[in-house]
Chains A and B, each alone.
Chain A
Amino acid sequence: MARPVPEINAGSTADIAFLLLIFFLVTTTMDTDSGIVRKLPPPVENNDEQADVKERNVLKILVNSHNMLLVDGKPGNIDNLKDKTKDFMAVHHNNDDYPEVKEVEVEELGGRKIWVSKGIVSLKNDRGTSYDMYIQVQNELARAFNEMKDEMSVNIYNAKYNQLIKKDEIKVINKLVPVRVSEAEPEDIGGGN
């Protein structure tokens, strides 16, 4: 006959679990890292090579050390930077104030031709610009491009960009609306006194 096994006192299991719980609460963090993703240009081999870009195709954005904006030679404002960028990058036929346009044939859409702008956004900042301002400018530019992607996507697929599931659909949109933000190497352009 088997001896009856005495029952183990489980009253302290809760305490042990509490101890573990508190340990994990202290040593771990919950923050998920998020931010604006950018790709840096590869290092240039020789500096003599200059990319040939027409003046009218470039939207120049300058940020000085007092965090003030100069958009296309005129003092700008962070609040309308997104709209200005969108307006600049939109397709304007036969208008010298806006960048050139070209027709792109998209194979994935059965050779359908779509007009796109050749515009480039050039961002230049001073060494004294605050990082906060820089991020705000980057954010506004990202917003402009995201909205343009959305519009293009609605035009072609009747769905917003982030609702696209197929890889090649996303590829087509990215090809038609490339995020063309060029960053010049910073220099001391000084502050506007």
Chain B
Amino acid sequence: MSRFKTKKGKGSPAINTSSLPDIIFMLLFFFMVTTTMREVTVMVSQNMPQASEIQKLEKKSLVSYIYVGAPKDKNLGTNERIQLNDVLANIDEIPEFIAHEREARDEADRKLLTTSLKVDGETKMGVVSDIKQQLRKSGALKINYSTKKKRVIADNR
């Protein structure tokens, strides 16, 4: 009779999953710490040029972004457009934007405000120069040309 008994009760034992939440929480915390919230939806193409001599922007809260590039939405044409916050804007709206960005910061931090120009590589310099003139007018003199990192062949450095 004992021959038939082996049929039942076999099969792999259940894996203990009680530590699974801990593992997932660990992953969650990792991502919470290393990433930042997406603030705006970029509506222009952003194919940044590459450069090797780049510096990291230290304080993210002290950076305001200006996006420039051809609109992703083809209905808006192929000319370069400027995006401030969540809207496509005109060049003369930049001083207002900068003033607004300044208002949002503490008084002590206002001097340290950096403007990061996220410009598509295909853009013509005319637009960029106009933006720079506007920034000069509004006194936002610290700028950063946002680029991708390029590896250079080490030449005795």
Contact between A147 and B143 (Cβ–Cβ < 8 Å)? no
Closest A residue by C-beta to B137 = A43
**17 A-B contacts (beta carbon < 8 Å):** A10-B18, A14-B20, A14-B24, A16-B21, A17-B24, A21-B24, A24-B28, A30-B35, A33-B56, A35-B146, A37-B114, A37-B143, A125-B125, A128-B124, A131-B120, A136-B49, A143-B53
Instruction: From B117, B129, B135, name the one whose CB has the most chain A CB atoms within 10 angstroms.
Output: B129
Chain A interface residues (CB < 8 Å from chain B): 10-11, 13-14, 16-18, 20-21, 24-25, 27-30, 32-43, 125-132, 134-136, 138-139, 142-143, 146-147, 150, 185-186
Chain B interface residues (CB < 8 Å from chain A): 17-18, 20-21, 24-25, 27-28, 31-32, 34-38, 49-57, 60, 63, 114, 116-117, 119-126, 128-129, 132-133, 135-137, 139-147, 149-150, 157
Known: A10-B21, A37-B142, A146-B53. A130 touches B121 (CB 8 A): yes
Q: Is the interface of B mostly helix, strand, loop or mixed?
A: mixed
Q: In the complex, A18→B20 CA distance in Å? A: 10
Q: In the complex, A43→B25 CA distance in Å? A: 52
Q: In the complex, A41→B21 CA distance in Å? A: 55
Given contacts A34-B149, A36-B145, A37-B57, 8 further A-B contacts (CB under 8 A): A33-B63, A35-B51, A36-B53, A37-B114, A40-B140, A125-B125, A128-B124, A130-B123
